[in-house]
Structure 1
Amino acid sequence: MNYFLEYLAIINVVGFVMFGYDKFLAKARQRRIPESTLMTVAAMGGSVGCYASMMLFRHKTRHFKFKIGIPFIIILQATLYVLYKIYL
C-alpha cells in the first residue's frame, strides 16, 4: 500500500472519530471540538470519514457550513485527484 492511501485511511478515521467524539461531548454538555478543527481535518483529506460520521451520528447536519461544506470538499478533492491522474 502506498503512503498516500495510508494517509487517507488514517485521516478519514481521525475525522470519523472526531465527529463522533464531538457528538459525545455535546450530549455530555462538555467543552466541544472547535468547528474550525473539524473542517480542517475534512480539508486535509478526511472529508469522507467526516461525512460518514455526520450521517451516522446525526451530528452537525443542520449547520449550513457542514451540510454544504463537507460535500463540497469531497467533490473538490475528487476533482483534484482526477485532474492529477489525467495530467500527471
Structure 2
Amino acid sequence: MRLNAVCYGLLALTLAVSAFLPHPWWAGLLLLNGLTLALYGADKLAAIKAWQRVPEITLLTFGLIGGWPGALCGQRLFRHKTQKQPFKTWFIVSVLLNVAACGAVWYAVYGRFL
C-alpha cells in the first residue's frame, strides 16, 4: 500500500521535525495530533470521492501512539468514523492503552500519580 507508506513517512518526518523544536516532546504531540486530524480529513475526502482510503489500522495506530485527541477532533469535525461500531470499539481500546501507557511511564519516572 503506497498510501500507508506515505502516512508513516509523514509520521517519521513529523517526529524528526519536532526534535529540532524548543520543546520536542510537546511539539511532537502537537504535530502528531495535527497530522492525525489531517489524516481523518483526507480519509473522509477519499470516502466521498471513492479514492484510495487510509487504512483503519493506520488511523488506529496514530491514535494509539498519542494522536487520539486529533482523531477525536477529526471524527467530530468531519463526521467521519463515528458510526462504524468495530472501529469505535478498537479506537476506545487504543485510547485506553495510550492513557494507561502514559500513566505507567509517569509512575515509573515520578513514583506517584498526580
TM-score normalised per structure 2: 0.67
1:87 is aligned to 108
CA RMSD of aligned residues (A): 1.7
Q: 2:87 aligns with which of 55, 66, 76?
A: 66
Write the letter of the residue equivalent to 1:86.
Y
Q: For 2:87 and 2:37, how far apart are their aligned partners in 1?
A: 14
Asked if structure 2 preserves the Cα contact closer than 8 Å seen for 1:15 and 1:49, the reply is yes
Unaligned runs of 5+ in 1: none
| 1:78 positional shift | 2.0
1:45 is aligned to 66
Equivalent residue runs for 1:2-13 within 5 Å: 2-13=23-34
Q: For 1:65 and 1:53, how far apart are their aligned partners in 2?
A: 18
Among the aligned pairs, what percent are the same residue? 27
Unaligned runs of 5+ in 2: 1-21, 110-114
Q: For 2:32 and 2:108, how far apart are their aligned partners in 1?
A: 25
Equivalent residue runs for 1:14-29 within 5 Å: 14-29=35-50
Greater RCO, 1 or 2 (C-alpha within 8 Å, sep 6+) = 1
